[in-house]
Amino acid sequence: MQKERVLSGIRPTGFVHLGNYFGAVRNWAKMQEEFDCYFCVVDWHSLTTHPDTKELKDNVHRLLAELIASGLDPEKCVLYVQSDVPEIAELYLYLNTMAYQGELERTVTFKDKVRQQPDNVNAGLLTYPVLQAADILIHRATNVPVGKDQEQHIEMTRNYAERFNHRYGEIFPLPKAFNYYGDELIKIMSLSGEGKMSKSENQMNTLYLADDDELVRTKIKKARTDSGPTELNSPKPDYIENLFTLIRLVSSPDVVQRFEADFNNCVIRYGDMKKQLGEDMVKFMSPIREKALAIQHDKTYLSKVIQHGREKARASAGETLKLVREAMGINY
Ligand code: TRP
């Protein structure tokens, strides 16, 4: 049986953090064993919010290195850079004729960006979901692992695919947001307890794969706690639950059990818990960081990876575009 095709994209706009790692990238690494996977560094998308390209190349290289260090294997998946695949831009052009101004203006992410960057409401921002649809449809992918905030974009992608199929012929399968690990989907909150760990959060409240050991320890030491529960078996406040989420991810089960019991018995010492978490987090993160650094500096290897990804991605994209052009009668 043919494997289902998975595609996801990640913007090269910042450092990969633990929210990206546990919420997305680690799952992608599992998916590549089971599915036909495409993972794309979407540098064109980043231009809609980050027009300054001075650091773009470094960011793309670092992101690729961090993805590989996190377990993506360029031999098991197609790992590539969006701007290496001009077929995406051509499909974007066609899909733009199927996307209506009104619905683009009503997109939640667009409205957010208008608020965040009122001086740069560019057309690329408006049609961001169309470019994302092109990313997905160019490989006729069906399964798109994304977080909740991206579901509207996937729905829009389905609409464009349906409109295309209806107007020109059945070319595209309809993709869906893909939550493969169901309830296991892990959300990492910021260490301050407010909102998700994210690229735009205060850097001290976010753990980045690139953080050195001391910084990891310091950030965890400063994570929000309180004076502890006063009633047996209390519910945990969000920021405490988040520390438990982290310790479950990186510490051994007996360590977790001990702190759970201490919490339930109202004798927990958060200082001790954070010290343990800091050490176990360093043990978990430092090999990934070291591997990423080594890859990032190995430009020969990186350029091989990029070229390999480009070839595989363009082969698949070229097939789709051929069908698209034939369906549209753009084949003189
Ligand atoms: N918009 C996505 C985000 O902000 C990134 C993205 C671009 C993407 N193209 C994609 C995600 C295609 C999934 C599929 O996270």
Domain coordinates of the chain in residue numbers?
5-186+299-328, 211-292
> Which residue has the CA at smallest separation from atom 8 of ligand 1?
9
Rounded to the nearest whole angstrom, what is the distance from the C-alpha of residue 73 to the centroid of ligand 1? 20
Both tokens of 106, joined, read 């009503």
CATH fold of 211-292: Tyrosyl-Transfer RNA Synthetase (1.10.240)
Q: What confidence tier does 183 reach under pLDDT thresholds 50, 70, 90?
A: low
- Exactly one of 176, 196, 236, 275 is catalytic; which is it? 196
- In the structure encoding, which two tokens stand for residue 31, read together? 């998916």
> What is the structure's pLDDT at 201?
67
Mean pLDDT of 98-110: 97
- Show the beta-strand stretches assigned E in the chain: 5-10, 36-41, 78-81, 143-144, 176-177
In this structure, the dihedral spanned by the alpha carbons of residues 97, 101, 106 and 112, taken in order and rounded to 10 degrees, is 90
Asked if the model's pLDDT at residue 154 lies above 70, the reply is yes
Residues with a CB atom less than 6 Å from ligand 1: 7-9, 11, 42, 45, 132, 135-136, 144, 146, 150
What span, in angstroms and rounded, lies between the C-alpha atoms of 144 and 154? 8
- C-alpha torsion sign, points 321, 143, 71, 285: positive
Dist. CA 310–CA 300, nearest whole Å: 15
Q: Residue 179 pLDDT > 90, yes or no?
A: no
CATH architecture designation of domain 5-186+299-328: 3-Layer(aba) Sandwich (3.40)
- 115: phi then psi, degrees, rounded to nearest 5: -70, -40
Could you tell me the CA-to-CA distances from 205 to 133, 187, 227, 265, 328 in Å, in that order? 32, 15, 20, 28, 50
196 is catalytic: yes
Give the CA distances from residue 278 to residues 23, 208, 210, 239, 271, in Å, rounded to whole numbers and listed in that order: 20, 14, 15, 16, 10
Query: What band does 148 get if pLDDT is binned at 50, 70 and 90?
Result: confident
Best substitution site from 40, 78, 176, 199 to test ligand 1's pocket, by max atoms within 8 Å of Cβ? 40
* CA–CA distance, 23 with 329 (Å, rounded to integer): 42
Average pLDDT of the segment spanning 138-161: 96
Q: What is the pTM of this model?
A: 0.96
Q: Which of 3, 54, 111, 113 is catalytic?
A: 113
Q: Which atom of ligand 1 is nearest to the CA of 11?
A: 5
Q: Measured between alpha carbons, how far is 134 from 90 in angstroms, rounded to an integer? A: 9
Q: At what angle do helices 238-250 and 253-264 cross, to 10 degrees?
A: 160
* CA 38 to chain CA centroid, nearest Å: 13
Q: What is the pLDDT of residue 133?
A: 98
Domains 5-186+299-328 and 211-292 share a fold: no
**76 classed as catalytic:** no
- pLDDT tens for 225-267 read 999 999 999 999 999 999 999 999 999 999 999 999 999 999 9
Instruction: Check residue 320 and give its pLDDT.
Output: 98
Interatomic CA distance for residues 230 and 252, integer angstroms: 26
Q: With bands split at pLDDT 50, 70 and 90, how would you rate the model's confidence at 187? A: confident
* Interatomic CA distance for residues 131 and 149, integer angstroms: 17
Q: At what angle do helices 299-328 and 270-297 cross, to 10 degrees?
A: 80
2, 143 Cβ separation under 8 angstroms: no
Res 186: pLDDT: 82
- Distance, in Å, from the CA atom of 14 to the CA atom of 149, rounded to the nearest integer, reads 18
Sign of the dihedral through C-alpha 234, 235, 238, 242: positive
Closest residue CA from atom 10 of ligand 1: 9
In tens, the pLDDT along 294-316 reads 999 999 999 999 999 999 999 99
Asked whether the beta carbons of 144 and 176 are under 8 A apart, the reply is: yes
Tally Cβ neighbours within 10 Å of residue 170. Answer: 11
Do 256 and 180 meet the contact criterion of CB atoms below 8 Å apart?
Answer: no
CB atoms within 10 A of CB 244: 16
113 is catalytic: yes
Mean residue pLDDT of the chain comes to 96
Residue with tokens 């950030």: 219
